[in-house]
Amino acid sequence: MKVERRGSDAAAIFPSGKIDVTNSQDLKQALMELYDEGFNNITIDFSNVTTIDSSGLGKLLLFQKKLKERRGEIKVTNIKSEYIKKMFNLIHLGKVIKID
């Protein structure tokens, strides 16, 4: 999973394919590393993500909570999958996590 560090406070992660119970650990790992390094504003680029399940959602919510505790946040960008767009919309995820 590609990770870009942009300065001292911001970073971006580029997962691809499915984010589900079989590989959400990878996303968690990447987020954990950035979190431990002190990055507070992490963008997750969804341009290559096709689906996401409850374990993937759980990771997003977990790190949003952690980053919020130190005034940072997660931002989700470039959602290309119509399924993901619709799902996020229907469950009102935008109320909790910034989605561009």
Partner 1 sequence: MPGQDPATPASRQLQENLQHAIAQLEGLIDNTENYYGVIHESLPFIDRNLELTGQETNMLINYFIDSPRSGDSKETGEGQFLMAETLERIEANFKTISSYLLKRQEIDRLLEVFLDSGSEGVSFESFLNLVGETKKVLSDVGDISINAIIFSARLGDAGRGFGVISDYILQASTSLENELVEIDTLLNELLQWHHSLQSSIGTIDETQKKAENEYIRDLDKVFARVTESMRAISDILRNLVNNVHDTVSPFQELMALIQRQDIVRQNMENTIKCLHSVEEKYLKYLTLKEDQNNREAALNHIFFTTRALGLVQTLADNMAADLTKSLQDIMDTTSSLLAALEEVRDESGQLSRFLAGGQKEGQGNPDQGSSSAVDYSFHTIFNFMQELMAVLVEIKKQMETLSSDKKTFDKSMRRTELSMNNIAEQVAHLNKVKLLARIELARVGLQDNAMGEKIENVVAAIGNTLTENIKVFQDLKRSLSRDLQSFDRIIKDNQRKIDLAVTEADNSMERLRTTNEIVSQAIVALNREVENLHHEVASIFQRLQDAKPLEDSVHGLNQFIQNLLETAEAEKKLIMDRFELNSWEDSNDELESLFNYLTGYLERVKARDYMETEHLDAGSEEGDLTLF
Nearer to partner 1 by Cβ, of 25 and 47: the residue is 25
Nearer to partner 1 by Cβ, of 13 and 72: the residue is 72
Nearer to partner 1 by Cβ, of 2 and 85: the residue is 85
Decide: residue 32, CB within 10 A, 0-12 exposed, 13-18 middle, 19+ buried: middle
Residue 41: how many CB atoms within 10 A of its CB? 18
Binding site for partner 1 (CB under 8 A): 21, 25, 28, 53-55, 57-59, 61-62, 64-65, 68, 73-74, 86-87, 90-98
Q: How far is the CB of 38 from partner 1 (least distance, A)?
A: 20
Nearer to partner 1 by Cβ, of 47 and 89: the residue is 89
Phi, psi angle pair for 60, to nearest 5°: -60, -45
Q: How far is the CB of 73 from partner 1 (least distance, A)?
A: 6
Q: How far is the CB of 53 from partner 1 (least distance, A)?
A: 5
The C-alpha angle 39, 98, 28, rounded to 5 degrees, equals: 50
Q: Give the integer Cα–Cα distance in Å for 97 and 61.
A: 8
